[in-house]
Amino acid sequence: MGETMGNSGEPLETGQKVREVQTNTVGVIVDHACQYAHPKADPVYSYLVRWEDGQVYALTETAFSGSHGYEIID
């Protein structure tokens, strides 16, 4: 589902694996939230990611686009 994120307006799924590119650390999405900047605006998703060391970070969907250092693992 991650390949269509942003196009379909659907969030990434809980359990989806992600990678922090710089350190090659793998994490798993454990939850997500949705915000709207305006009632007619597209949703913006934020994700809680649990990393291999047990830490949990919040990332927005833009972290997975461009060169922000995070990627979705299929």
Structural domain boundaries in the chain: 2-73
Q: Output the pLDDT for position 71.
A: 95
21-56 pLDDT, tens digit per residue, is 999 999 999 999 999 999 999 999 999 999 999 999
Q: Which residue has the tokens 């305006």?
A: 38
CATH top-level class for 2-73?
Answer: mainly beta
Tokens of 57: 């970070």
> Residue 5 — pLDDT band, cuts 50, 70, 90?
very low
- Residue 64 in contact with residue 18, Cβ under 8 Å? yes
Give the pLDDT band (50/70/90) at residue 2.
very low
pTM of the model: 0.82
pLDDT tens, 7-16?
457 899 999 9
